[in-house]
């Protein structure tokens, strides 16, 4: 397909250079003040010239950045070399730093009924550098907005795409982030619809970074889940429970728990009985956090649960001892909220 990996391309351009040079280039690319190859003043001039000619400084071209009304969320639309567009989001977090939300694929094949990205179908996986460059977009953006907090403290893989369907590139992107930034492993969350063979793989993968995982459960009822998450199947829930127990045994500790995400859809999965099912399912596993996500409007025929039913659902979970948070929705007015990431019609 010709999406050459940047690192190997640079290595092939300079076969005689020692490893530290390649490391030096990689480190420099993550520095705020470095905006093009010429800014890496420690490199020999000839190397910079070759890089200028042969390697784009970023795999992404920013087309537009939108800010929401509250000024706490920003969405970038960026073009990849093959011409398609992807989206990435920068949002203020409760600690006053920034969390970025990155896309892992162009489109998505999972077709969850309530998600706008699912409607696009899948075009292709993103390369690791195309994921990492979303971080670099925001770093550059913040450098140009000195009045904003400057620290990107968290990353969530919750943009377009299913990260576990792009396992190798997601892993490479995580490794690059941890090599080149101060972001710690428990400050990164990878969200997945629950691609069990891949989840199984990460349990036995010595190179998989110990990031937090969030599973998009959305229902603890077999039939309801199959209805809203079409990739689900009859024995998904018991298999997920079994995996989750082994995951927690391997990675779980005070700072590292497992999250179940749950989009609240009116009349579909939001009754007190649904909450009890979810509580029993979670409690049968162990230390599970539930994150309730208010449904963000997409043209999918679903409606958001009422505030009252979200509160009641939350109460039932807490009463059963399940630690639960309700996600604050940010950026809905610029279609930057969960499940809204799709090219906006202009
Ligand atoms: N493919 C990954 C990442 C998806 S986006 C996954 O399935 O986890 C992150 C979260 O947003 C997922 O839990 C997803 O189900 C949820 N989401 C999708 N559409 C939504 C919508 N319209 N409103 C609220 N949340 C949504």
Q: What ligand 1 atom has the least distance to the C-alpha of 216?
A: 13
Q: Cα–Cα distances in Å, from 201 out to 124, 167, 212, 219, 247?
A: 21, 9, 15, 24, 11
| Residue 115 Cβ contacting ligand 1 at under 6 Å | yes
Which of 190, 297, 338, 340 to mutate to test ligand 1, by most ligand atoms within 8 A of the CB atom?
338
Q: What ligand 1 atom has the least distance to the C-alpha of 329?
A: 24
Q: Specify the long-range contacts of residues 202-208, CB closer than 8 Å, at least 24 apart.
A: 202/167, 203/243, 203/246, 203/247, 203/250, 205/171, 207/171, 207/175, 208/171
For residue 328, the model assigns a pLDDT of 83
Global pTM reads 0.95
For the chain, the structural domain boundaries read 6-54, 60-334
For residue 339, the model assigns a pLDDT of 66
- What confidence tens digit (pLDDT) does each residue in 81-132 have? 999 999 999 999 999 999 999 999 999 999 999 998 888 899 999 999 999 9
Mean pLDDT over all residues of the chain?
Answer: 93
Q: Is 222 exposed, middle or buried (0-12, 13-18, 19+ CB in 10 A)?
A: middle
- CA atoms of 142 and 139, how far apart (whole Å): 5
- CA atoms of 24 and 285, how far apart (whole Å): 45
For residue 337, the model assigns a pLDDT of 72
> What's the pLDDT band for 200 if we cut at 50, 70, 90?
very high
Other Cβ atoms less than 10 A from the Cβ of 202: the count is 23
| Residue 293 Cβ contacting ligand 1 at under 6 Å | yes
For residue 35, the model assigns a pLDDT of 92
Are 258 and 244 in contact by the 8 Å Cβ rule? The answer is yes
Average pLDDT estimate for 213-220: 98
Q: Which residue would you say has higher pLDDT here, 190 or 6?
A: 190
Q: Specify the long-range contacts of residues 16-20, CB closer than 8 Å, at least 24 apart.
A: 17/47
- CA atoms of 141 and 89, how far apart (whole Å): 12
Q: Is the pLDDT of residue 271 over 60?
A: yes
SS3 125: strand
Fold of 60-334: TIM Barrel (3.20.20)
| Residue 262 Cβ contacting ligand 1 at under 6 Å | no
Query: Helix crossing, 167-180 with 19-29: angle to 10°?
Result: 90
For residue 342, the model assigns a pLDDT of 58
- CA atoms of 140 and 241, how far apart (whole Å): 41
Q: Cα–Cα distances in Å, from 130 out to 56, 59, 164, 312, 333?
A: 12, 6, 16, 41, 26
Are 251 and 279 in contact by the 8 Å Cβ rule? The answer is no
For residue 254, the model assigns a pLDDT of 83
Nearest CA to ligand 1 atom 19: 339
Average pLDDT estimate for 183-191: 97
For residue 118, the model assigns a pLDDT of 86
Specify the DSSP element, H or E, that contains 262. strand 258-264
> What's the pLDDT band for 282 if we cut at 50, 70, 90?
very high
| Residue 263 Cβ contacting ligand 1 at under 6 Å | yes
For residue 344, the model assigns a pLDDT of 46
Residues in Cβ contact with 192 at an 8 Å cutoff, skipping those fewer than 6 apart: 162, 163, 164, 198, 199, 213, 214, 215, 216
Which of 91, 166, 214, 216 to mutate to test ligand 1, by most ligand atoms within 8 A of the CB atom?
216
- What confidence tens digit (pLDDT) does each residue in 55-83 have? 999 999 999 999 998 999 999 999 999 99
Q: Is the pLDDT of residue 346 over 50?
A: no
Q: Which residue would you say has higher pLDDT here, 308 or 332?
A: 308
- What confidence tens digit (pLDDT) does each residue in 22-51 have? 899 999 999 988 999 999 999 999 999 999
């Amino acid at each position: 397909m010709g999406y050459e990996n940047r690192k190997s391309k640079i290595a092939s351009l300079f076969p005689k250079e020692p490893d530290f040079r390649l490391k030096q280039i990689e480190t420099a690319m993550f520095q705020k003040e470095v905006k093009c190859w010429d800014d890496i003043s420690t490199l020999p001039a000839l190397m910079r010239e070759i890089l200028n000619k042969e390697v784009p400084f970023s795999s992404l071209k920013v087309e537009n950045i939108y800010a929401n009304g509250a000024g706490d969320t920003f969405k970038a639309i960026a073009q990849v070399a093959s011409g398609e567009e992807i989206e990435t989001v920068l949002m203020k977090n409760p600690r006053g730093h920034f969390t970025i939300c990155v896309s892992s694929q162009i489109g998505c094949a999972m077709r969850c009924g309530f998600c706008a990205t699912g409607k696009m179908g899948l075009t292709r996986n993103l390369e690791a550098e195309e994921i990492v460059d979303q971080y670099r977009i925001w770093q550059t953006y913040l450098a140009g907005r000195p009045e904003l907090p400057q620290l990107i403290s968290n990353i969530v893989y919750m943009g377009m795409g299913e990260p576990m369907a792009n396992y190798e590139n997601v892993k490479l992107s995580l490794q690059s982030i941890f090599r080149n930034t101060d972001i710690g492993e428990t400050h990164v969350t990878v969200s997945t619809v629950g691609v069990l063979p891949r989840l199984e793989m990460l349990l036995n993968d010595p190179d998989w970074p110990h990031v937090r995982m969030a599973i998009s459960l959305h229902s603890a009822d077999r039939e309801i889940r199959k209805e809203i998450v079409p990739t689900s199947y009859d024995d998904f829930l018991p298999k997920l429970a079994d995996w989750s127990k082994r995951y927690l045994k391997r990675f779980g500790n005070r700072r590292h728990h497992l999250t179940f995400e749950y989009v609240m859809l009116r009349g579909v999965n939001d009754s007190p009985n649904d909450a009890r099912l979810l509580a029993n399912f979670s409690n049968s596993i162990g230390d599970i956090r539930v994150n309730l996500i208010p449904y963000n409007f997409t043209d999918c025929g679903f409606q958001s649960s009422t505030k009252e039913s979200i509160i009641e659902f939350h109460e039932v979970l807490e009463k059963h001892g399940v630690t639960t948070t309700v996600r604050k929705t940010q950026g809905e007015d610029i279609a930057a909220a969960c499940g809204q990431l799709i090219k906006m019609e202009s």
